[in-house]
Amino acid sequence: MKHVSTPFAAFAPVAPLVLVGTLVALAALQDSRPPAAAASTAGATRVEVYEFAVRRQPKIEGITLYGSEGLEIKLAVEVPGKSLLSIDEERTTLRTWADDQGTSLAPAEDDFFHWAQMDTRWDDDERMDVATLALRTASLPVAGAQRVKLDATLVFVDAGDLTTRDVSAAIAKGSKFELAGQNVEISEVNAVEDSDEWAVQVAFTTKAPLDALQTLVFKDAEGNEIASDDYGSSSMSMFGKKTYTYYYMLGRAVDSATLSATYYARMGHVEVPLALELGVGL
């Protein structure tokens, strides 16, 4: 399944960084913190900071900063023997993020973007035991601060055993079946107007994310592939429960189809404790 990442406006590559902090301290990984019972702690894990940047609005009149102020840390994480499919935003925990003057740099709870985002993998042959991440906050160190400290636990989705399985289902609202190991219900089937390419939009709703799903192919009764495209996903929380909806466009309307799903049959989590102390260098 394709995952579309929304660019982080504060660090969009439309303008150079106004201030770039110099990395003067090595990122440290602390193994003393006990892992949560639901996750495993991998051995020989390595964390490396390779970029540390600060952006602030210039005080000189007439100079404009394109985007918003903020701080960004780029990390590379290596967990041998694991496949780091994605970062689990709900399990990942930020305990403290502050400068050495006691100023909290933690993002606001209502920030649209999660503070830790995993970069998109563009190469199918890229090492799955290595991931790069961007840690972002719109907060800035105070004048005179020399160091930034961050204490967190990153939790990655660990996946393996790539499997392809077919399921036949009615393409109609209320149709229920299992897809990529999850119970799925079709919540919408809508005709697409004013399009020469797409005829129908189908929405699948689940109670758990379809993180394991990599590709989904639709076939008609004769086994011919139906043109389709993944149009993204959304999630909604209500009364403490969360639902996920996935949208697909089909090139033609059909009453039923065979859905050929390629997904990871093994899904788990791996924790990476994170303890950074970086020199601001300003």
Torsion angle, alpha carbons of 34, 103, 56, 135, to 10: 10
Helix or strand holding residue 264 (H, E): strand 256-279
Global model pTM greater than 0.85: no
Task: Name the CATH topology of 161-267.
Answer: Immunoglobulin-like (2.60.40)
Residue 203 phi, psi dihedral angles, 5° rounding: -115, 125
Q: Where are the domains of the chain?
A: 9-159+268-279, 161-267
Convert the pLDDT of each residue in 118-163 to its tens digit: 998 777 667 889 999 999 999 999 988 889 999 999 999 998 899 9
Rounded Cα distance between 200 and 218, Å, is: 13
**C-beta neighbour count of 175 within 10 angstroms:** 16
Residue 11 phi, psi dihedral angles, 5° rounding: -125, 25
The answer to whether 274 touches 151, Cβ cutoff 8 Å, is yes
Question: Which candidate, 78, 89, 86, places its Cα nearest to that of 29?
Answer: 78
Rounded Cα distance between 258 and 166, Å, is: 6
Convert the pLDDT of each residue in 75-119 to its tens digit: 999 999 998 988 998 899 999 999 999 999 999 887 778 999 999
Convert the pLDDT of each residue in 207-253 to its tens digit: 998 989 999 999 999 999 999 999 999 999 888 889 999 999 999 99
pLDDT given at position 113: 82
